[in-house]
Amino acid sequence: MAYFFDEPSRTFGEYLLVPGYSSSECIPTAVSLKTPLVKYRKGEEECPLTMNIPLVSAIMQSVSGDRLAIALAREGGVSFIYGSQSAESEAEMIRKVKAYKAGFVKSDSNLPPTATLADILALKEKTGHSTVAITDDGTANGKLLGIVASRDYRVSRMAPELCVSEFMTPLDKLVTAPANTSLHDCNNIIWDNKINSLPLLDEEGRLVYMVFRKDYDSHKSNKDELLDSNKSYVVGAGINTRDYETRVPLLIEAGADVLCIDSSEGYSEWQSRTLGWIKKEYGDKVKVGAGNVVDAEGFRFLAEAGADFIKIGIGGGSICITRETKGIGRGQATAVIEVAKARDEYYKETGVYIPICSDGGIVHDYHITLALAMGADFVMLGRYFARFDESPTNKLRVNGNYVKEYWGEGSNRARNWQRYDLGGATKLSFEEGVDSYVPYAGPLSEGVQGTLYKVRSTMCNCGALSIPELQQKAKLTVVSSTSIVEGGSHDVMLKNN
């Protein structure tokens, strides 16, 4: 006879936090949201990879491209570049992220002197960068002839066919430096000369790197930005359980800091095989998360298989219809609570702390705080990040409102069959996700800062100044359906804004 759980599985919307004592020290600006991303021996060593905020972006075509990875790392979180593309194109996205904040940047906006103003505008539209290096052959390592910046042209006063050699700032009027100049000295040159960019040239006059003033300014204004030892942004990459032997080496070579197996079901031999191969080939040098699971058995399986963090959640995403089509899943709150207990028991037994990630089920900002209070170390978000400017999808106007496209990896549009792989045919047999729109929400930075201020404020209401303290002090209550209704505006006539 089948096993029946005694209690129903519950979602975040069925819980509330009960306030605790708040001292005068409990103010949002004093709250730390630092959290471990990968496993470590708690109390004996430092976590090798820690985030400054508890947010990571979902491994989805409509969410995690290189632009969003840069924006999220700037806020202190980690994006996992989607793996449902060729290994080469995923690796190229990783390289773009790592190059963006390296201090010494390989120029990705280059044109030959025969190019026109129209070419400049088209390149700016493609890359988003306003500084274009003009080299003899139009490549990133050609002989530098000049620079075109936004101050060098006026679209309203210049013909599109005007040659760049007519309006670029020529080499003899540029401030440059030798390729071996230190980053510290480069920044001094930039400040002393009041310039925005500094080309670094080799002995033959070929462009090697660009150093930008905005990178220095960005670091000063984004105190939580997440950087590696080379001052590059930290970035993750999604992998699957089919082509990992060829994909993983390319991603590691490109500079990926952490990997994550993207699968709807983590409690499988396919995941243990993947984890086993990575650990055999790379040891502990390569960090890789696994999932998804919804109970203690699944957690224990992946922990013993070598996972560096474990994702929780099946069927709770806003575009996921796995529960509807297959009848598989569990309420996200119940799943997080049980797996968190299993994580703590594993830590007591082994001394190894394996972070857990709540993936799916986040509808409101306060659900993030609930997930953290229930034991999650961080949350993975899809719909939330798909709304912002930096997501890879199109911004459209539908019924008078701006929206962005958002589709599931199990949808007919994505056709990410590897995510739902059960060892069968190499195709998507039926859909487990939908194609949809989400309301447009502007730049990521503003949205994330607003959300995290709410999280910090709620933590203060609970008397907690850190995530571990929240998990220790939090008091949670199940609420009735009537209480849920009472929690919103009711029995009033709302004014039309």
Q: How buried is 496 (Cβ within 10 angstroms: 0-12 exposed, 13-18 middle, 19+ buried)?
A: exposed
Q: Which of 357, 419, 460, 462 is catalytic?
A: 419
Task: Give the ranges where 147-268 is alpha helix by DSSP (H).
Answer: 183-193, 213-221, 244-254
The DSSP code sequence of 320-356 is B-HHHHH-----HHHHHHHHHHHHHHHHHHHSEE--E
Residue pair 82/386 in contact (Cβ under 8 Å)? The answer is no
320 is catalytic: yes
> Beta strands 309-312 and 110-111: pairing type?
unpaired
Q: In whole angstroms, give the CA distance from residue 434 to residue 394.
A: 17
How distant is the alpha carbon of residue 55 from its chain centre?
Answer: 7
Q: How many helices (H) and strands (E) does the chain have?
A: 15, 24
Q: In whole angstroms, give the CA distance from residue 139 to residue 123.
A: 13
In one-letter notation, the amino acid at residue 102 is: A
Q: Tokens 């979902």 — which residue? A: 58
Q: Tokens 């045919």 — which residue? A: 425
Q: How buried is 212 (Cβ within 10 angstroms: 0-12 exposed, 13-18 middle, 19+ buried)?
A: buried
Dihedral, 371, 311, 340, 333 alpha carbons, nearest 10 = 40
What φ, ψ does residue 147 adopt, rounded to 5°?
A: -130, 140
The H or E element that residue 57 is part of is strand 55-57
The H or E element that residue 288 is part of is strand 288-293
10 is catalytic: no
End-to-end Cα, the chain, rounded Å? 57
> Beta strands 197-201 and 177-178: pairing type?
parallel
Q: In whole angstroms, give the CA distance from residue 24 to residue 112.
A: 61
| Conformational region of residue 291, where left means phi above 0, alpha means psi within -120 to 50, and beta covers everything else | left
Q: Which of 26, 186, 260, 320 is catalytic?
A: 320
- Centre a 10 Å sphere on the Cβ of residue 224 and count the other Cβ atoms it contains: 17
Residue pair 32/356 in contact (Cβ under 8 Å)? The answer is no
DSSP 407: E
Q: In whole angstroms, give the CA distance from residue 212 to residue 215.
A: 6
SS3 114: coil
Residue pair 458/305 in contact (Cβ under 8 Å)? The answer is no
Catalytic residues: 320, 419
